[in-house]
Amino acid sequence: MAAQKAGATFPNFADGDVSVVLSSARQYQLHSNILKNGSATFRELLSEESAAKLTRAAINKKKVVRWRLELTKQNYNDENSYYLKKVKVHEDGVAVDARNFGLSLENGRAINPRYAAYEAVLRALYFEPLNIGDPNVDALTNLLEVAMEVTATAEYLQCIDIVTKPIEATLLGTGQDLQRSIYNNPVSWIDFAHRLRSRALFREALIHATGQYFTDMSQEAVKELPVAVAELLNKRANRLKQAVKDSMVKALTYYPTYMQREETLGRADKDSTGQASYAKQVYEWQAITILRQWLAAQIALDETHQAKDIGKSVVDVLLQGGDAYMDKPSLGMFHRYFPMTGKGKNVLEHKLNQMKEDIKPFFAALVQNHSQLSNAEKSLDYFTCFGVGPGEYPWEEQEVVEGSEEEETGNEMEESD
């Protein structure tokens, strides 16, 4: 490879045929084959048609640059409007109408973050480590600022894949600082992770956004997401709502197996379907009626799947069981209408607590925490039980579609040949 020549070091290679100029202090002489190999944008910019046809005299004078690219602002007031402008190189190796960048040097001055981002991506194209900061020293906000600049540059150069892993690893290195940030603003993190094509960051942000979807999450912010991402988030949130609803239905239609009977033949007062047999389980029937009344009341009051938290507070109480709901004082209302002996009250309470334990498995899956946010860090008031499956990364589906289109095009070309 040309970059491996003795004495050649980034960013200036004696045999580099591309001049990339960001500023007076940041000018690079690089290799077209390396740039085009890693970047679709460079493949477009560095076409053979636009390359200088150097004369023999120019070559004898060690002129090797055939392309010149200058970083230019399309809109002076827009910091995101930078692009690489092609400047024609004459056959004698001299650029025509090259911009005069002056003699300004950095020397301690604040560096334009876009310049640093371009250099980081160019180095990455040369397989040099991408450094956006130290997660053990730098604050997450500082790391994220650099990461956003690098991501925007890689997007423009169409080489996002070379920055994904190093940015992802650096941000993950901040530990719970990152997880708290995602918890506080999952929609923005979904957008960034989607742009970066980071599975780890997208998964975490999507888990939190799904749980927060029906809370006070800004639906305007959701609308700003790419259509495929917004649709995915909406679909997952409604799946979660349905899961809570299904769990409530299971609890409402629950009967202990020992109370269930099979129809038998013969005299009713001598088998398990007779009046005497049912009378023996009067406390069980009272308990299940009380339990269902409480569950139905939560649904009627919109405290379950129709609530902002999709029923998280109710599910938490159900999983505590015992005196967390329908304790002795609250059962006093029942006993006002249906008084019983102290022993009868104890038996009824015992049966009710048994049933509370029996319905817990219907809700257990809802409180599994698939996020990386530590329970010790934050007691979540929403569900994080939905992980992210292989088919829920929108860019992967897009890559499959694009790959299929390329394959079809290739087959058509083969057929035409």
Q: Which helix (H) or strand (E) holds 231?
A: helix 227-252
pLDDT tens-digit profile of 87-115? 999 999 888 776 666 555 555 566 789 99
* Tokens linked to 226: 């790419």
Q: Sign of torsion, CA 85 87 88 92?
A: negative
Q: Which helix (H) or strand (E) holds 29?
A: strand 26-30
- Asked if the model's pLDDT at residue 69 lies above 60, the reply is yes
* CA 397 from centroid of its chain's CA atoms: 15
Residues 191, 184 contacting (CB under 8 angstroms): no
Residues 58-78, mean pLDDT to the nearest whole number: 87
pLDDT band, residue 266 (cuts 50/70/90): low
Residues 138, 46 contacting (CB under 8 angstroms): no
111/235 Cα distance (integer angstroms): 43
For residue 71, the 8-state DSSP code is E
Q: What is the pTM of this model?
A: 0.85
Mean confidence (pLDDT) of the chain = 88
148/372 Cα distance (integer angstroms): 22
What is the reported pLDDT for 278? Answer: 87
pLDDT band, residue 38 (cuts 50/70/90): very high
Burial 364-395 (b: 16+ CB within 10 A, else e): eebeeeebbbeeeeeebebbbbbebeeebbbb
pLDDT band, residue 77 (cuts 50/70/90): low
**Domain residue ranges of the chain, discontinuous segments joined by +:** 2-99, 243-262+270-367
For residue 88, the 8-state DSSP code is P
* Tokens linked to 258: 């020992």
Q: Which helix (H) or strand (E) holds 69?
A: strand 67-73
pLDDT tens-digit profile of 332-357? 889 999 999 999 999 999 999 999 99
228/10 Cα distance (integer angstroms): 40
Residue 323 amino acid letter: D
371/375 Cα distance (integer angstroms): 10
158/197 Cα distance (integer angstroms): 12
- Asked if the model's pLDDT at residue 123 lies above 90, the reply is yes
* Tokens linked to 391: 């088919």
Map residue 1 onto helix, strand or coil.
Answer: coil
Map residue 328 onto helix, strand or coil.
Answer: helix
Residues 42, 50 contacting (CB under 8 angstroms): no
Residues 376-395, mean pLDDT to the nearest whole number: 87
What is the reported pLDDT for 417? Answer: 35
Query: HSE-up of 274 (CA within 13 Å, CB side)?
Result: 10
Residues 309, 381 contacting (CB under 8 angstroms): yes
Please, what is the angle between helix 176-184 and helix 140-157, to 10°? 70
226/194 Cα distance (integer angstroms): 9
- Asked if the model's pLDDT at residue 402 lies above 90, the reply is no
* Residue 300 backbone phi and psi in degrees, to 5: -65, -30
Residues 372-381, mean pLDDT to the nearest whole number: 80
Cα separation of the two ends of the chain? 34
How many CB atoms neighbour CB 399 within 10 A?
12
210/222 Cα distance (integer angstroms): 11
What is the reported pLDDT for 414? Answer: 38
* Tokens linked to 269: 């007062």
273/262 Cα distance (integer angstroms): 8
82/77 Cα distance (integer angstroms): 11
For residue 20, the 8-state DSSP code is E
Q: Where do we find the tokens 């257990």?
A: 364
Strand 82-87 to 26-30 pairing: unpaired
